[in-house]
Amino acid sequence: MHELATLRKNPEATRTGLSTRNVDFDLAEFFARDKRRRELIQRVDALKAKRNEAGKQIGELKKAGESADRLITEMGEVSEQIESLNPELKDLDDGIHADLLGLPNLPHESVPVGGDENDNRLERTCGEPREFDFKVLDHVDVGEALGIIDLERAAKISGARFPMQFGAGAQLERALAAFMLDLAGEHGYLEVFTPFLVLPESMEGSGQLPKFAEEAFFIEKDALYLIPTSEVPLVNLHRGEILAAADLPIRYCAYTPCFRREAGSYGKDTRGMIRVHQFTKCELVWYAAPESSYAALETLVSDAERVLQRLELPYQVVSLCTGELGFAAAKTYDIEVWLPSQGRYREISSCSNCEDFQARRAEIRYRPEAGKKTRLVHTLNGSGLAIGRTIVALLENYQQADGSVSIPEALRPYMNGLERIEPLQRPGA
């Protein structure tokens, strides 16, 4: 969320920033409403001051035994004037607040300007894609042939685009979660087990509402949202608090399910486990001082990359252009893993610096020094990693000619020493 005073001071920077994000917003009309609102506030405040002063005079007149009828009548008229202005003032307040909630973050100056993924900037690659001497299968065909993925039964139970894994496929899920959490712990992250249902104000605080209301699963009876990412509870963990400067940076990690409607997605992404309604992630969240948040972003990206390096999966890192940035992000790096079946890199993690955009919504501050004025923290988040997509990458990159899948050495201790996934004999399969 933006600070209104900052927008007033930098209208051209705001206009340019929104334009590069492909946001069509009438800033002139917005500032006109803001000006009218400030004029009304001044009028109402002046009328209230007049009424308060008259109240003192009325008390003095009554104390002196003199008539205060004229002043009482006049102040009744003043009160009516105030009441007549309040509805317009409330409408302006509500409208401006709604606009501020709906405006995306402005891009950092280092973000490449562009309209779509073709304008993203490649930062680096790591690892060489494997060359296969047999026909490469996608993760669905590999998993179904092994009996460890069953999307048909998942659909029977829950409908389309839900995952279901068996045997070593299910074991991969918890093995990867433990592996990622352990790795995060080694690098200073405090593990948190969070709620999976959150209040609307928590969704608003992290920037999910009102923008992504249609993407979220909402339990109307209880007024609770299923989390689309554990970024939501982790960012709101310190909502409304003032943190000590000595505690920064704070680094949290959490493994949770995530629930998204994924409205509007289509094509190849709807096959298998690339884009589903329920998935799991190991999320990394930072609270940092403003002056160190961009150094923190580089560290956050490195922490997410380390997972892929240990798993020996080829990947690349790209800096998203302005038109591709997420709603709350000022700068984002996407980490994209190589998928042999598609012959290209696909996103497996997004690491973003949201600067003070979320902190202003959630009122998260810190005090730089004792007695000094508080400041908003900067919040950062990244997937470390999306587990379903990691399974996709493992099944495709480690598939063998005989249909089996080898397990990366770093993951074997979490798989009870299993070195290879062989076909599973399942009841009813």
Please provide the distance, in angstroms rounded to a whole number, between the alpha carbons at the two ends of the chain: 51
Q: Which residues are catalytic?
A: 260, 275, 347, 350, 389
Instruction: Establish how many alpha carbons lie within 13 A of residue 213's alpha carbon, considering only the half-sphere containing its beta carbon.
Output: 10
CA dist 131 → 66, 142, 248, 399, 413 (Å): 101, 17, 45, 12, 27
Find the length of the chain. Answer: 429
Tokens 């680094």, residue located? 251
> 18: cis peptide before it, omega within 30°?
no
Classify each residue of 57-70 as buried b or exposed e, where b means 16 or more C-beta atoms within 10 Å of its C-beta.
ebeebeeeeeebee
Tokens 């560290």, residue located? 299
The DSSP bridge pattern shows strands 242-244 and 365-367 to be parallel
Q: Which secondary-structure segment (H or E) carries 286?
A: strand 278-288
Cα 117 from chain centre: 19
Distance CA 370, CA 357 (A): 25
The DSSP symbol for 319 reads: E
